[in-house]
Amino acid sequence: MNRGNGLPGSVNSGFGNSHAETAPLSLQMAVVVLTLVPLLVAYPFMQKHFRTGVLTGAIKG
């Protein structure tokens, strides 16, 4: 049986340390920003492709 720490917010099963370590809030926010920035930069350039796909599905043929 593998003894390890549980996930944050999970019930302690009695094995390992009861204190789950999480990343600091500043690190979590940095990851969120680094994830969203490329999406926000690419969206205006890809918007015409999204609109074309929606219009193609709306045309009855």
pTM, whole model, 2 decimals?
0.45
Select the more confidently predicted residue: 12 or 41.
Answer: 41
Contact 6, 20 (CB under 8 A): yes
Place of tokens 């979590």: 28
Q: Under DSSP, is residue 16 helix (H, G, I), strand (E, B) or coil?
A: coil
Q: Under DSSP, is residue 4 helix (H, G, I), strand (E, B) or coil?
A: coil
Mean confidence (pLDDT) of the chain: 75
Length of the chain: 61
Select the more confidently predicted residue: 5 or 50.
Answer: 50
Tens digits of residue pLDDT in 16-44:
555 557 788 999 999 999 999 999 999 88
